[in-house]
Chains A and B, each alone.
Chain A
């Protein structure tokens, strides 16, 4: 079945530091890949997505590239801000299956 593995947190960074959150997946066929973000006390929001190999999703300074050869979709940001503090979830949707499979989430804390 489909599965998503993302690096365990928590991750603590200083403002303006570089961020990487690793995500790898297992799926049959050609899944779509997503990063969702959950701010404290809120529901999840779509951050970015990629639907085919070598696609790069980007939003709000975050980027992730769909790497089929390494089955990875790592999230990166060049300079984090305090307002980026949240839980980040990697997810996939495989083929005709309409389910989203989520990773366990990574808590990011950015200190001023």
Chain B
């Protein structure tokens, strides 16, 4: 089975440019999570979806960040305009409510997108 797929794996852009990160969750999973990882702040949850609907976006740092999930097999995280402080590794994870504990106990992570904003 394919795991969570993220693209691109690496992105280098200049300040002010728009950046779009993409994620394909594991087929059949109904929860999708976006995280950001930095040395200073560790792993932060940005937003999560259930059945394509955003449930909690309280971790989204600013209006420059937006996330969508148009269907069960695709999600995007967009930063517009990007700033150097957005440089981080962005992870997408998915899980299924059909697992034990009512869901989200086991989150499957993608390999991440390393974003560098110059």
Q: Do A and B bind?
A: yes
Counting residue pairs across A and B whose Cβ atoms lie within 8 Å, the total is: 52
Q: Closest approach, in angstroms, between the C-beta of A108 and any C-beta of chain B?
A: 16
Residues of B within 8 A of A105 (CB): 42-43
Q: Which of A54-112 contact B (CB under 8 A)?
A: 89, 93, 98-100, 102-105
Residue B31 at the chain A interface, CB threshold 8 Å = yes
- Answer whether A100 and B56 are a contact pair too, CB < 8 Å, given A32-B101, A43-B91, A89-B43: no
Residue B67 at the chain A interface, CB threshold 8 Å = no
Residues of B within 8 A of A100 (CB): 33, 45, 104, 107
Residue B103 at the chain A interface, CB threshold 8 Å = yes
Residues of B within 8 A of A51 (CB): 100-101, 105
Bin chain B's interface residue count: 20 to 34
Residue B34 at the chain A interface, CB threshold 8 Å = no
| A43 CA / B56 CA spacing, docked (Å) | 22
Is the beta-carbon distance between A43 and B31 smaller than 8 angstroms? no
Report B's interface with A, CB cutoff 8 A. 4, 31, 33, 42-43, 45, 48, 50, 55-56, 91, 93, 100-101, 103-112
Report A's interface with B, CB cutoff 8 A. 32, 34, 41-46, 49, 51, 89, 93, 98-100, 102-105
Known: A44-B93, A46-B107, A49-B105. 15 other contacts (CB 8 A): A32-B101, A34-B105, A42-B111, A43-B4, A43-B111, A43-B112, A45-B109, A46-B108, A51-B105, A98-B56, A98-B103, A100-B104, A100-B107, A102-B42, A103-B42
